[in-house]
């Protein structure tokens, strides 16, 4: 894993975390949940074996990223502009020495991060090779989740922190939350405002990439997954009984991003 900070065209500094193969030509923009930040790896061994480079930009106010400059209001669309600027700078830097930064770029979202993943995939248009949404949340679900009393509790992400079926998972979730909280609630407050912007349907309708939606069997999550799928041009919904779908099926997610979506 590598971490660094980058100054964007907006003037904000953003934290950048890279997982997987740093030399891979297939990039995945990983949109973290809320609260959350880069550095969380659902299954480090599977990630290391993949031929993918997973990049997470800490959203404003989390970890190493500057908070939102207000006005205008925080918005998934504003964040997608920052992410697009990051990719453009990577391309420019690589081209300046006669290289290509990447051959393909896909987008991955987890929980509340799916709102941002949809916005970024829409922004990229046909440049995006695939979109994966794990436990996507409607804006109403996301808003309710972000106002819960236990919003910083690791049990929101894994109901039984003592279950070490996936070795080290609880410590990785707790480390993500501790890093995300470096600026207190600054990032969380930004996400709370951003999910008020009703842009999800508009974003999903503009996505051109094939999509895989993975979620649990809980009624609300199933409904949210199918609500997302109805707006996408090409989407497959997969249900699982796993308590932490992104960890239990990380190998499947990586395989889809590597091969199935091509």
The tens digit of pLDDT for each residue in 108-163 reads 999 999 999 999 999 999 999 999 999 999 999 999 999 999 999 999 998 877 76
**pLDDT tens for residues 71-121?**
889 999 999 999 999 999 999 999 999 999 999 999 999 999 999 999 999
Q: Note the pLDDT of residue 127.
A: 95
Going by C-alpha positions, the residue among 107, 160, 153, 152 that lies closest to residue 134 is 107
pLDDT of residue 57: 97
For residue 199, what pLDDT band results from cuts at 50, 70 and 90?
A: very high
pLDDT bucket at 164, cuts 50 / 70 / 90: low
CATH of the domain at 38: 3.40.50.1820
As a whole number of angstroms, the distance between CA 245 and CA 255 comes to: 15
Residue 259 CA from chain centroid, whole number: 20
pLDDT of residue 260: 59
Number of domains in the chain: 1
- What is the predicted pLDDT for the residue at 74? 96
The model's pTM: 0.96
Q: Is residue 197 scored above 90 in pLDDT? A: yes
Residue 100, domain extent: 2-260
Half-sphere exposure for 151 (CA within 13 Å, toward CB): 23
């Amino acid at each position: 894993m590598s971490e660094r900070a980058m100054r964007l065209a907006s003037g904000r500094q953003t934290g950048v975390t890279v997982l997987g193969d740093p030399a891979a030509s297939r990039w995945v923009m990983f949109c973290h949940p809320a609260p959350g930040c880069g550095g969380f790896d659902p299954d480090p061994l599977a990630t290391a074996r993949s031929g993918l480079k997973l990049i997470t930009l800490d959203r404003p106010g989390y970890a190493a990223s500057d908070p939102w400059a207000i006005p205008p209001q925080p918005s998934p669309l504003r964040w997608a502009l920052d992410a697009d600027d990051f990719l453009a700078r990577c391309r420019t830097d690589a081209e300046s020495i006669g290289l290509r930064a990447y051959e393909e770029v896909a987008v991955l979202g987890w929980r509340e991060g799916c709102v941002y993943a949809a916005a970024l995939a829409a922004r990229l248009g046909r440049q995006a090779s695939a979109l994966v949404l794990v436990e996507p949340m409607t804006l109403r679900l996301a808003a309710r989740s972000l106002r819960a009393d236990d919003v910083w509790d690791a049990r929101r992400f894994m109901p039984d922190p003592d279950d070490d079926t996936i070795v080290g998972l609880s410590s990785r979730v707790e480390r993500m939350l501790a890093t995300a909280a470096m600026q207190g609630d600054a990032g969380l407050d930004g996400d709370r405002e951003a999910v008020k912007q009703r842009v999800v349907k508009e974003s999903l309708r503009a996505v051109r990439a094939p999509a895989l939606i993975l979620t649990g069997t809980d009624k609300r999550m199933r409904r949210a997954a199918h609500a997302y799928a109805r707006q996408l041009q090409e989407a497959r919904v997969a249900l699982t009984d796993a308590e932490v779908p992104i960890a239990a099926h990380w190998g499947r997610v990586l395989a889809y991003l590597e091969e199935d979506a091509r």
